[in-house]
Structure 1
């Protein structure tokens, strides 16, 4: 049974998610629909890029991922369909696929143009319902990617700039908080592979984390490695460095949020 996932900034109050699902089921009523999240902050392309990059690998081959964080809807920006690692991604050409382009050399990418695979009418303000959803449904039925539009190379797609953390000659890593989860954990863009110089993630290792006006020693294994209400750093389930407060809310406690800088000194 084919799987289609949805990742949007629509929230849960309005009808937008439900209408996308209705269109999908009208074309392929056998599909399984999975909501990755609809709580991406409004128009936050960077947050969405990291979210889909972290999530897709947990789905089976043949899955179709629809990403709708689209502040440029109705403008001249195009829409893309990407095939990579036997999975499909349909999204605006606004940089939200940036991290996926570097995942694998063997990819197929098209710029959507074949209206035969769109909804009967296309709103200027809801391409998620009228283009992305029907295209995803057709992909789930086995439609070949190249029937959907003209092939392009990833180099021709829009990419987000300066989204990777930087390592100085001194070894210091400077990254950014890209997301704050429901618990107030501060999720950075510093992947654990950048910290491979550390032999063990223990509370007494030689790592110093600086965020805002706060200095946090070491990288822990679990939230409970420190006393309640104490800040810590650890590698979260996404594989990225997180700043948390045991049994507390790090964003509120440290007065830090999305876009703020985090530095790691080894």
Structure 2
């Protein structure tokens, strides 16, 4: 079974950049757009603190590389992905050459594209190794999701059960179920066996609030044939962990087959429709 992921891709000019992680700039712009395009969603997420079904990238340069900090005026790309929401309101609310000002930035919309992506399930067997490279800082929520988000504790390391719980949470929200039944999911389906190039960093937002995250490449052995593993391919679009509306938790995946044969095919979409 394939899962459809919708995307909106913005090409923007940025002026007056602030010296913070560019994912916060993406979120700042997106909330401004959402406030106009879908006031009810904006209120639910930004005011009431409900879970968000939108997942953003940080700023991306013309080479397709994530920009950690925007240090000068320039032109960049941002992508917004969702499983649960029709993004047409957001797409149609944007006007080319429209200027959008936030507290810390001045944006000009230079172009807008929409995509519909059919994501193939990740096919793995017992003993295979799933390789996840965290391209932007990530952190995983330890506190139960029933608790208030602002009082939650986050763990800056990809503990397998927390990683899978994050994925279950994302898929659960796409089916309007904001409290998935974790008891029915095998959260021990993966075992972390190795990692490299890992680093932990402290990031502060516009208000100086701290966020601790990690990056690096991590190797997970498949210990059970849990159906949730098939949905891991979604992570390349919606990310993993907390604060994904601010560009955290962006990843790419690969699979090493049991016996050491490396998978040559990335588990991404086999159909992408983009309209300008």
For the criterion TM > 0.5, the same-fold answer is no
Structure 2-normalised TM-score?
0.28
- The structure whose Rg is larger is 1
Alignment TM-score, normalising by the size of structure 1: 0.29
